[in-house]
Amino acid sequence: MLPYKLVYHDKYDLHLGPHVFPSQKYRLVREALLRENLAEPEDFLRPEPASDEDVLRVHSAEWVRKLKTGHLSAIEAMRLEIPHSPQTVEAFWLAAGGTILTGQQALRDAFAANVGGGFHHAFREHGEGFCMIHDVAIAIRRLQADGAIKTAMVVDTDVHQGNGTAVLFHGDPNVFTLSIHQENNYPLPKPPSSIDLHLPDGIGDADYLAILEKNLMQAFNDGHPDLLFYLGGADAYREDQLGGLGLTIEGLERRDRLVYEYARRHHVPVAITLAGGYARRVEDTVRIHVNTILAARDLA
């Protein structure tokens, strides 16, 4: 049994068919954890969908209405890059509810992981890059509204900059955002986070980890968070179809552990979400996500 809880719902899978986004990975991660005796069924919590009230803390009423009714313009639908359906909307509301639950559990147990979430390209009034709504921002605003936290930090290691995160929290002194990503990649332009680490193409494990560690030190000194939301990006992997960095699976695991060690050193609970991941072999993406979940075992 793990010393922290995992959050998962069967309906996280968007059933996209032959699509570069392998949304079946959520189910495959859960199956791998159980098959390899790394987790037990009782380690998993089943989330409820986020309420519309929670979603509206971040997104406009007009965008929520469009998603709920399917009345998206051609441009809005194109930006999403995934097909709209009631099932897809339900999956995103469940992912947001899952990230809220993950944050609540992390505050109790020091760590918790959502086997999903990390949809950091969603903005107040539109979605893009496979992201309809911003589950992490919704969770932060819900926990702040509940009085469970005052300050939060987002550490985003997806190969693509968290542009939605940057815009949603711009100018907010209570939310510190750090994004480490490939410079020559989507999105363009890249709105400013609290710290943006724009990496050159092909950077490897050693240089990546050195840059990350230096800036984690600054982030924790400047941010003073009550809770850290970690977006563990599987797409920084050197064989990712939508990325261009040079990290190995072992290097990605060291990255995860480094973030968790800094959080533990500063007595900050960690809520984990699984971002990105478009490896040529879906098994590699699944292994990277499993490692992200398990890297906290010795620290919890």
E strand or H helix at 248, and its extent? none
Does residue 19 belong to any structural domain of this protein? yes
Residue 257's domain spans which residues?
5-294
Q: Residue 230 burial (CB < 10 Å; 0-12/13-18/19+)?
A: buried
Looking up residue 206, the CATH number of its domain turns out to be: 3.40.800.20
Determine the pLDDT at residue 176: 98
Q: Could you say which residues of the chain have pLDDT below 50?
A: none
Which 3 state secondary structure label does DSSP give 275?
strand
* Residue whose entry in the numeric block shows the structure tokens 């920084």: 236
Q: Quick check: is 61 in a domain?
A: yes
Burial class (CB in 10 A: 0-12, 13-18, 19+), 215: middle
SS3 assignment, position 12? helix
Residue 280 within any structural domain of the chain: yes
Which tens digit of pLDDT belongs to each residue from 160-211? 999 999 999 999 999 999 999 999 999 999 999 999 999 999 999 999 999 9
Whole-number pLDDT of residue 300: 77
* Cβ contact 155:230 at 8 Å: yes
pTM of structure: 0.98
Instruction: Count up the domains in the chain and report the number.
Output: 1
Evaluate whether residue 150 is within a structural domain.
Answer: yes
| Residue 238, domain member (yes or no) | yes
pLDDT value at residue 15: 87
User: What does the DSSP assignment read for 84-136?
Assistant: --HHHHHHHHHHHHHHHHHHHHHHHHSEEEESS---TT--SS--BTTBSS-HH
Is residue 299, in this structure, part of any structural domain at all?
Answer: no
Both tokens of 48, joined, read: 């409820």
Predicted pLDDT at 17: 87
Bridge partner residues of 195 (DSSP): 178
- Residue 300 resides in a domain: no
Residue 89's pLDDT is: 98
Q: Which region, left, alpha or beta, applies to residue 234 given φ > 0 means left and ψ of -120 to 50 means alpha?
A: alpha
φ, ψ of residue 142 to 5 degrees: the values are -65, -45
Q: Is 286 a member of any domain?
A: yes
pLDDT in tens, 65-100: 999 999 999 999 999 999 999 999 999 999 999 999
